[in-house]
Amino acid sequence: MENVQVLDQGYVRLVDHMGSDLTVVNAARVSYSKESFEWSDKDQRLIQFLAREGHTSPFRHAILQFEIYAPLMVARQWWKYIVGSAHYEGTGDNLDAWNESSRRYITEDPKFYIPSPAEWREKPENSKQGSGATISWELGEMYTQKLMEYVEAGIQNYEDALQAGICAEQARLFLPAYGMYVRWYWTSSLQAVSHFLNQRIAHDAQKEIQEYAKAVLELCKQVYPNALKELVLSKQLT
């Protein structure tokens, strides 16, 4: 399926999905042995009710699978939604799975996220986390160059170690970590995806993961437009 490009070299791809908006309302209606075969205003009212009242279990019957290519600093923020998936909002297991490529087994050319001079941000004035306004272009240009030199030195050391016979799982220690792109599959229920989106589209989320969350939302809207409108869009984009 379609890729949505993110940052300089990253992307989000919707690999597969199970179900539709009707899956959600029919999961709710099974309690009364009823089923809907074509979307109607009645279905819209039901999905609004489910989202508004926090009846989240029907949204766990719709599943999405993504392939994501992102810097490690984004991946490790994203991973919090896997390790915490068994207990948020008291819902129990919310159907999350994560499988990531490993440099123990592969030696493909490493790629790194390097902000352009216009993308570096100041530290915030009144917070210990997050970021503020964009710094001057001149200062940004200097730190883009510094980062490029740092990455190039790490790649050279990594390749030298491999050439010398060092195993890949140890040679990777030379690679600068947080900006290095990693690739993974994320399979998740619609409820869990919405939980991620509501937190990571928020204005106070780190800008880089905001961009990935917007890509996930763009792809999700193509297959679950009505559910996303109630679970996410009405909260974040109005």
Report d(CA 90, CA 13) in Å as an integer.
Answer: 30
Report d(CA 33, CA 65) in Å as an integer.
Answer: 29
Nearest Cα neighbor of 43 from 23, 62, 65, 72 is 23
Identify whether the C-beta of residue 194 lies closer than 8 Å to the C-beta of residue 95.
Answer: no
Give the mean pLDDT of 226-234: 84
Each residue's pLDDT tens digit, 83-139: 545 544 444 445 667 776 766 666 678 899 999 999 999 887 776 677 888 889 999
Spans of all domains in the chain:
3-102+183-236, 114-178
Residues labelled catalytic:
200
Rg (the chain; Cα; Å): 21
- What per-residue confidence (pLDDT) applies to 105? 60
Report d(CA 210, CA 103) in Å as an integer.
Answer: 26
- What per-residue confidence (pLDDT) applies to 87? 40
Q: Share the mean pLDDT of the chain.
A: 86
- What per-residue confidence (pLDDT) applies to 95? 61
Report d(CA 174, CA 139) in Å as an integer.
Answer: 27
Minimum mean pLDDT among 32-46, 103-117, 136-150: which range?
Answer: 103-117
CATH architecture of residue range(s) 3-102+183-236:
2-Layer Sandwich (3.30)
Burial of 21 (0-12, 13-18, 19+ CB in 10 A): buried
Evaluate if residue 16 carries a pLDDT over 60.
Answer: yes
Evaluate if residue 21 carries a pLDDT over 60.
Answer: yes
Evaluate if residue 32 carries a pLDDT over 80.
Answer: no
Nearest Cα neighbor of 64 from 230, 217, 236 is 217
Identify whether the C-beta of residue 193 lies closer than 8 Å to the C-beta of residue 216.
Answer: yes
Decide which of 126 and 1 is more confident. Answer: 126
Report d(CA 200, CA 206) in Å as an integer.
Answer: 8
Give the mean pLDDT of 39-56: 90
Q: Locate 156 and state its tokens.
A: 């050279």
pTM here is 0.85
Those residues whose C-beta lies under 8 Å from the C-beta of residue 40, and which sit 6 or more positions away, are none
Report d(CA 114, CA 221) in Å as an integer.
Answer: 30
Each residue's pLDDT tens digit, 165-209: 999 889 989 999 889 999 999 999 999 999 899 989 988 888 999
3-state DSSP assignment of residue 59: helix
Report d(CA 216, CA 196) in Å as an integer.
Answer: 10
Give the mean pLDDT of 57-64: 92
Evaluate if residue 238 carries a pLDDT over 50.
Answer: no
The DSSP secondary-structure symbol of 38 reads S
Give the mean pLDDT of 19-27: 93
Q: Locate 119 and state its tokens.
A: 């993308």
**The residue type at 132:** G
